[in-house]
Structure 1
Amino acid sequence: MSTDALFCSLSSQRIAELIRAARQSVCYAAPGIQSDEALAMVETGGRLGSEMLTVCLDFDERVMRMGYGEISAVKLLRDAGVSVRSAPGLRTALVIVDDTGFVFTPTALYLEAEPTGSVAPNAIRMSGEQMAEALARLSPAAKAIAVAQAKTPEEKLRIEALPLDVGSAQVTDDQFAKVGINLKEAPPVRFDLARQVRVFEPYLQYVELSLTGAAIQRHRLAIPPSIQKLGSSKDLENRLRTTFELIEKGSKLSSKPLEDALNDIRKNFTPSLGKDHGRVVLKAAKSHLIERLTTFREKLKKHQADVAAELQKHLDESREQIIAYYLPRVIETPPDALLGQLLSGKPSDDDARYWLKEELDLVFPSAESLIQEMKLNERFKDVTFETLNRKDFLESVKVAFPKVNWDTAYDEFRAVGERDGKKGTE
């Protein structure tokens, strides 16, 4: 890095090198701190004294989940007796080592890797006056260092008169323990893997679509055992152990037109990647999918209203068909459950009909209960690292969406992984 460049690149490793070269003092203020920087702080504090080090962070688990810093780095500092202060919401960063200082943009490792080389500048060099003012306005300890380093009495008076701009407080044991427990119970994701996943996140999303409760034509009614046993022979009894279709095939109450329409939506917008992958939608086409599903829900709502107007009549007709079929058998061979309720020894048509109706009431659904179950379910899920690493993933995606240049995205996915792999796991 050029010694006089105004714009430059600062990585954790480069900041650690600056800190290790300190001869007088170090001030570090940022959302978080990485282990390289903290270890350099500890080593430098051993030479200069921990009181010559100023560390100000936003000590919050959300900061660490974004990859701005590590709790293990804060532990290194605290164990070495280095004071760590917390300024909630701090996002601007600066590092001042002796008479060299930079304002820099910290890297959220969850989003991207740290800059490398001079082609990725993320820092601006500070002037001497800017450094003195920044120290004075950052914290009481930093202000004391700035006052001590002032070269003239006038400069010292000017620095002493500057107000503090950053509200901060010492990180307490309880605060440190609470954040540590939260991160242990729900550890941050591996940042290298998260960055690889984000290569494909703008392209794809898994989607599950299902229609429930609409296929009333497939509802079958189990004939009650008390009715199944009617008959004079074992052969007849076995023949009657059947189920009964509540709605006849081809009825206008059938959900087949709806199911066909939903299958068309699936086919056009959510191709399958195979049984082990499920269905996906291009995020670029998701708005069209949502429009089609909105229209489909209107169709489902209309179907529900049509069914509501006709279903109870169909159910009553189905009940009458069963009663008419079994009525002669009840009169011919009355079941004991009926005979035990009669004053006369033989049931009349009304007696038989009433008994059959009571038995069927136990198993017949109401129209209202069937209609309330009709629902379109949709569920969207983002891609995961495990999904992307399946051997057949890319080929399956290419087949499903042949007009998209997936090689470009996959090359970027591989490049991110290789680049991060050289650094190791964050």
Structure 2
Amino acid sequence: MNIDALFCSLSPLRIAELIRSAQRAVCYAAPGIQLDLAQAMVETVGRLGKEMLTVSLDFDDRVMRMGYGDIGAVTLLLGAGISVNSSPGLRTALVVVDNEGYVFTPTALYLEAEPSDGAASNAMRMSGEQVAQALARLSPAAKAIAVAQAKTPEAKQQIEALTVDVLSAPITVSRLAEVKTSLEEVPPVRFDLARQVRVFEPYLQYVELSLSGAAIQRHRMAIPTSIQKLGGSKDLEIRLRTTFELIEKGSKLSSKPLEDALNEIRKNFTPSLGKDHGRVVLKAAKPYLLARLTEFRTKLEAHQKAVEADLQKHLDTSREQIVAYYQARVIEAKPDALLGQSLNGEISEVAAKKWLNGELDKVFPSAETLIQEMKLDERYKDVTFETLNRNDFLESVKDAFPNVDWEKAYSEFRAAGQSQLQDPIAK
């Protein structure tokens, strides 16, 4: 590190080295603290005395889920008798070792890995006066350290006159237990995995498109059991068994043109990655997909209006066919439901027809109901680590989108992980 540079690179390794080199005092303030830095402080406290080390954190489970700190590090510090204060909302990071101080950018591990030495200028060196001012305004414990380090009575008096700017309070045993319990119940994600997933999130999204209720030609109605018991013949045997096709095959009410149009959209914008992966859309192409789906919904609405004009006629005709087919059988079979209503033990044509229509009312849909069921469903889902980590994922993506440079994304995917993971999508 260039000792004269104002802007510099301050990695966790470098901060730990500074802490271990401390001769008089250590002050650390940040959203959170990781275990390696806490361990360095514990190793140092025996030389300096616990009153000469102080830590200020935004002690909250949500902060730790962002990757700013580790609950084990706080437990370790408190166990060593090191002063740890909770400063809600703290996002600026500060480390002071003796009279050497830095303001630096803390790293949220959920978003990116910790910087390595020399990777980037993430810190600014503080002057001796700025160090004293920062300590005095951070917390009472830090202010006490600043007073102890003052070289002259005048400097000591100036520091004592300063007011503490940051609201803080010691972390209590009950608050420590509360945060521990919350993290045990809802553990943080593995940050390296979360970063790897985000590499592909800007590129891809899983999508499911389904057209429901439009295929009226495939609607079948279950014949009520009371009617099935009457028996049957060869008439209407193609359509009339235990179920009945509401619309005859080849009807102009068929949804096939709509289904073909939707399949064309699927083919062009949502290629399949294989039966185990499903379909995906490039997020860059998603606006075009949404535009095509808007056009498709216009076609669907037009189909609904066209169907509405003729559908009820078809349904009425189908009902009449069933009634005509079974009416004679009702008169012959004399079901108990009708005998119980007869004054002479005979079933008239009117009574038979009325009873059949009553039974069919229980199962026969109306045209309005069928039309209302016509809809296009869209479901989008972001990629997960489990899907990314399948053996054939990358090759499937390359096959589906051959014009996209996936090598760049793949390189970023590997770089995003910190731990030595088994990487089955590697070549």
Scaled by the length of structure 1, the TM-score of the pair is 0.92
TM alignment of 1:229-308, pairs within 5 A: 229-231=229-231, 241-308=241-308
1:122 aligns with 2:122: yes
CA distance in 2, matches of 1:33, 1:231: 80
Residues 212 and 374 in structure 1, CA contact (< 8 A), matched pair in contact too: yes
**C-alpha distance in 1, partners of 2:148/2:412?**
51
C-alpha separation between the residues in 1 aligned to 2:379 and 2:235? 48
Distance in 2 between the 1:308 and 1:163 partners? 77
2:369 equivalent in structure 1: 369
Which residue of structure 2 lines up, in the alignment, with residue 7 of structure 1? 7
Q: Which deviates the most, 139-148 or 373-382?
A: 373-382
Name the structure 2 match of 1:388: 388
Question: Secondary structure of the equivalent of 2:28?
Answer: strand
Question: Secondary structure of 2:420's partner?
Answer: helix
- What corresponds to 2:411 in structure 1? 411
Query: In the alignment, which residue of structure 2 is the partner of 1:42?
Result: 42
CA distance in 1, matches of 2:341, 2:147: 106
Aligned to 2:158: 158
Tell me, in whole angstroms, the C-alpha distance in 2 between the residues paired with 1:301 and 1:155. Answer: 80
Counterpart CA distance in 1 for 2:280 and 2:231 is: 55
1:421 aligns with 2:420: yes
Alignment partner, residue 191 of structure 1: 191
Question: In structure 1, the residue corresponding to 2:380 is in which secondary structure?
Answer: strand
Distance 1:177 1:252, change over 3 A: farther
The one-letter amino acid paired with 1:370 is L
SS in structure 2 of the partner of residue 421 of structure 1: coil
- How many residues get paired? 420
Partner of 2:326: 326
- Percent identity of equivalent pairs: 74
Cα displacement (A) at 1:153: 2.4
Q: Distance in 2 between matches of 1:370 and 1:243?
A: 17
In the alignment, structure 1 segments of 5+ residues that lack a partner are none
Distance 1:75 1:276 in 2: 44
Q: Secondary structure at the match of 1:378?
A: strand
Q: Aligned equivalents of 1:95 and 1:228: distance in 2?
A: 85
8 Å Cα contact 1:231-1:237 kept in structure 2: no
Higher mean displacement: 14-23 or 167-176: 167-176
Give the Cα separation in 2 of the matches to 1:119 and 1:299: 55
The change in CA–CA distance for 1:76 and 1:287 in structure 2 (over 3 A counts) is: same
CA shift for structure 1 position 158: 1.9
Segment of structure 1 superposing worse, 179-188 or 155-164: 155-164
Q: Distance in 2 between matches of 1:320 and 1:365?
A: 14
Deviations 1:135-172 (A, max 9, x none): 11101111121122222222222222222221112222
Native 8 Å contact 1:196 1:416 kept in 2: yes
Deviation per CA, 1:372-422, whole angstroms, max 9, x where unpaired? Answer: 3333222111112221221211111111111111122213323434x5439
User: Which stretch shows the higher mean deviation, 309-318 or 261-270?
Assistant: 309-318
Given that 2:14 and 2:117 are in contact with CA atoms closer than 8 Å, whether structure 1 keeps it comes out as no
CA distance in 2, matches of 1:86, 1:297: 54
The yes-or-no answer on 1:74 pairing with 2:74 is yes
CA distance, structure 1, for counterparts of residue 335 and residue 237 of structure 2: 17
Find the counterpart in structure 1 of residue 425 from structure 2.
none
Letter aligned with residue 169 of structure 1: A
CA distance in 1, matches of 2:268, 2:278: 15
Deviations 1:345-364 (A, max 9, x none): 43222112111111212221
Determine the C-alpha separation between the residues in 1 that align with 2:246 and 2:236. Answer: 21
| Counterpart Cα distance in 2 of 1:155 and 1:305 | 86
Which range is displaced more, 381-390 or 86-95? 381-390
- 1:96 lines up with 2:96 in the alignment: yes
Q: Which residue of 2 aligns with 1:105?
A: 105
SS of the counterpart of 1:47?
helix
In 1, Cα distance between the equivalents of 2:415 and 2:138? Answer: 40
CA RMSD of aligned residues (A): 2.3
> In 1, distance between residues paired with 2:57 and 2:311?
67
Partner of 1:205: 205
Counterparts of 1:110 and 1:188, CA distance in 2: 9
- 8 A contact 2:11–2:117 mirrored in 1: no
8 A contact 1:24–1:48 mirrored in 2:
yes
Q: Which amino acid aligns with 1:421?
A: Q
Distance 2:37 2:299 in 1: 61
- Counterparts in 2 of 1:77 and 1:362: CA distance versus 1, 3 Å: same
Give the CA deviation at 1:311: 3.3
How far apart are residue 237 of structure 1 and its match?
12
Structure 1 counterpart SS, 2:249 = coil
Deviation at 1:306?
4.1
1:9–1:118 contact (8 Å) kept in structure 2: yes
For 1:31, the equivalent position in structure 2 comes to 31
Structure 1 residue 351 corresponds to structure 2 residue 351? yes
- Look up the match of 1:56: 56
- Give the Cα–Cα distance (whole angstroms) in 2 for the partners of residues 118 and 205 of structure 1: 36
Partner of 1:173: 173
After superposition, the C-alpha distances for 1:110-140 in whole angstroms (9 at most, x for unaligned) are 1111111224221111100110110111011
Once residues 98 and 217 of structure 1 are traced to their aligned partners in structure 2, the CA distance between those partners, rounded to angstroms, is 83
Residues 1:343 and 1:9: Cα distance change in structure 2 (over 3 Å): same
Comparing 52-61 with 174-183, which one deviates more in the overlay?
Answer: 174-183
Is 67-76 or 167-176 further displaced after alignment? 167-176
SS at match of 2:131: helix
